[in-house]
Amino acid sequence: MESSLDSKHTAPSAGQIISRGFLVAHCVLAGAILLTLLHAPAQLASALMISLRDKTPSAPGPAPEQLLPALLLSGVVILLAIGVFFLFPLIQGGVLGQVRDRLDSPDRPPRRFGFHSRVHYSRLLGNQLVFTLIMMAAIFPLVCVGAVVAVQSTAGAAEPPPGEVERQLLSHPVFLGGMVLVSVLSSAVGMIYWVANCVVVAEGRSMGASWRSSFQFCRRNFPAVLAVWLVNLVAGAVLAPLGMLGQFGVVSSTWGLSAVALIYSLLIGYWGVIVAGMSMSLYLGRRTHSESEELAVPAAVGA
C-alpha cells in the first residue's frame, strides 16, 4: 500500500502537466515550422478562392472568364487537403516521438525526427482516419441545417454580398447552437484522439488498442484531462475567428487574405506542437499513476 500512496503523491498536477508540455514543446519547434509549411499552401489557395469569389459580379453564377480559375483553384485546394491528410501524421509522429524522448530521458538526446516519423506513421494515419470519420458524422447534420437555412435566406433574392450568407447562418439560433455543440464535442473527441496517438508513440500499441487505452485513461484521469482540454478549447476559440475573416468579408483584398492565411498557418503549426507537448506530458505524467491505481486494489486484498 505504501507504493500506491507514494505514486498518488508524486502524480503531477494539471498545472505541472500543462507547464511541462509547454516547455518541452518549445524544444521541438522544428515541427512547428514543418506544420506551418504543410498548412500554408492549402490556406493560401483557400484565400485566393475567397478573393476570386469577392471579385465576382453580383449575378447568378460566376462570370465565364472566372469559371476556369475557380475550377482550377477548387481542384488545387482538394489536392492540397489530401496532401495535408497524408503528411500530417508523418510530422506528428516525429514531434510526439521527440517530445516523448525528452520527457522520458531528459539527460539524453532524442532520436532523430525521421526515425519517429517512419516508425509510427501507419498507425497515426489510421487514428487520423478514425477521427476524421467521427468528425464527418458529427458535422453532417450541421451541414444539412446550414444548407436549408442558406436556401431559405437567399430564395427569390438577389445575389447576397460576400459574407452575408455566413452572417445569416451564425445569426440563426439552430445553426449557431449546433455549431457550438459540434465544436465542443469535436474538441472532446480530439482530446481522446491525441491521447491515443501518445499511446501509439509511447507504447507502440495498435490503432484499436490505442483508442481503448485512451478512453480508459481519460476516464480515470478526468480532472487532468479536462484541464488540458479546456486550454485547447480556449486556444481553438481564439484561433477560429482568424480563419473565418475572409469568409465573413472582414478582409477582402488578395494581399490581406494571403497575410491572414500565412499568420493562421503559423499559429496552427505552433499550437499543433503545443498540443503534442501537453498531450504527451499528460499521458506520461499520469500513466504510471493510473496503472498503480489499478494494481492497488488487488495488492490490498492480497495483504
> What pLDDT, on the 0 to 100 scale, is given for residue 291?
53
pLDDT band at 8 (very low <50, low <70, confident <90, very high): very low
Q: Which residue has the higher pLDDT, 249 or 91?
A: 91
Cα gap 158→154, rounded to integer Å: 7
Cell numbers at residue 266, please?
503559423
Q: What is the mean pLDDT of residues 14-23?
A: 95
pLDDT band at 4 (very low <50, low <70, confident <90, very high): very low
> What pLDDT, on the 0 to 100 scale, is given for residue 7?
42
Q: Computed from CA positions of residues 34, 38, 43, 44, in that sequence, does the dihedral angle turn out positive or negative?
A: positive
pLDDT band at 205 (very low <50, low <70, confident <90, very high): very high
> What pTM value is reported for the model?
0.84
- Checking 242-245 for CB contacts under 8 A at 24+ apart, the result is 242/267, 244/166
> What pLDDT, on the 0 to 100 scale, is given for residue 250?
74
pLDDT band at 122 (very low <50, low <70, confident <90, very high): very high
Q: What is the mean pLDDT of residues 39-58?
A: 79
Nearest to 50 by CA among 142, 165, 129: 165
Please list, in sequence order, all residues whose beta carbon lies within 8 angstroms of the beta carbon of residue 113, skipping any fewer than 6 positions away.
30, 31, 94, 95, 97, 98
> What pLDDT, on the 0 to 100 scale, is given for residue 115?
95
pLDDT single digits (tens) 256-278? 889 999 999 999 999 999 999 99
pLDDT above 50: residue 6: no
pLDDT above 70: residue 157: no
> What pLDDT, on the 0 to 100 scale, is given for residue 65?
59
Cα gap 283→196, rounded to integer Å: 9
> What pLDDT, on the 0 to 100 scale, is given for residue 32?
96
Nearest to 198 by CA among 130, 286, 262: 286
Q: What is the mean pLDDT of residues 135-158?
A: 74
Percentage of the chain lying above the pLDDT 90 cut: 55
pLDDT single digits (tens) 212-229? 999 999 999 999 999 999
pLDDT above 60: residue 295: no
